[in-house]
Amino acid sequence: MQPKRDTLHEIRAVMIGKKQFENVGDGLLVRAPAKINLSLLIAGKRPDGFHEIETLMTKVNFCDEILIEKGNKAGIELVCKVPLWAPEGKDNLVYKAAEMLLRNHGQSPNIRITLTKNIPAGSGLGSASSDAAATLLGLNKYLDLQLPHAELAKLATQLGSDVAFFLDGPVAFCTGRGEKIKKLKKDFIFCALLILPDISVSTQKVYANYTHEPALYERLSGEINGLIKKNRVDLVTKICANMLEKSCLSLYKQLAELKAKIESLGVKPLHLTGSGSALFRVFEEKNEKKADEHKRKLKKISCKSVIVRSTRW
């Protein structure tokens, strides 16, 4: 389901300079940022059926918002608001995160959680995982549980592969299924043009369609790991390595055609983030004017986009 209004410009303006937590009356507002994969390599398939990955991820200031308040009903009440649709109730990862944290720590307060959904599902931006992490962080703070990071991380890994990344950051090298997090000491400050096609991608289908290329993995892994050790994240983005891209674009021909059309306008190189469908082009921190120029080129085609920045949290 699509947004009822085009709010991307408004979202961009609102997110600049904001912190992750903000007191709103008696409630707590938590911002759940999107992520982009600056690189994504597949090392092979694990015995448990999952794929072993190596990915360099960073958060951007394009966020969902979660408002935690005292509820008027027993238990957890989840309300989802536009501009984008999200499932209400126990199917939502926000509800699952809240239920798991409260149950595991003997809590039974009346909680009302309002999720404002800005990040589209199936875009590879990690929105559901970020929402879950924001819920864990927010409830820990709102209820003053004082749970250590290690305890929250344990819960996060049970909720999904990417959830643990969103507990920390803003830039990290993630391995395993994505749950093994190595935070980078040096932040990567940038702006990016984020393109949001009206296409929802199934991560499960993309992985199922993936054909492993061991030689490509070995070459890219050696190159990227070497750059990370030198703190040259900026050079990693120039490699434009996403080993899931071929699988995703072969499944979603419309996305492949759109990517080619955008690049023909001079908006390139474009990266696919995660398993797709969002595309992005990274610029240096002080080069937002160039990002704006590229964004204007997209007026020739019907495609939503927003300029984002790296976060410091």
Stretch 294-301: mean pLDDT: 92
Residue type, position 272, single letter: L
| pLDDT score at 15 | 59
Domain ranges in the chain are 8-309
Q: Are 149 and 167 within 8 A, CB to CB? A: yes
CA 266 to CA 298: how far, in whole Å? 10
Stretch 108-129: mean pLDDT: 95
Residue 220 predicted with pLDDT over 70: yes
| pLDDT score at 306 | 94
- Closest among 116, 63, 62 to 92, alpha carbons compared: 116
Stretch 265-283: mean pLDDT: 95
Q: In this structure, which CATH number among 3.40.30.10, 3.90.1150.10, 3.40.50.10360, 3.30.230.10 belongs to the domain 8-309?
A: 3.30.230.10
Global confidence as pTM: 0.93
Provide the b/e sequence for 221-245 (b: ≥16 CB within 10 Å).
Answer: beebeebbeeeebeebbeebbbbbb
Q: What is the mean pLDDT of the chain?
A: 92
Active-site residue set: 35, 162
CA 198 to CA 187: how far, in whole Å? 31
HSE of 93, CA atoms in CB hemisphere, 13 A: 22
| pLDDT score at 4 | 43
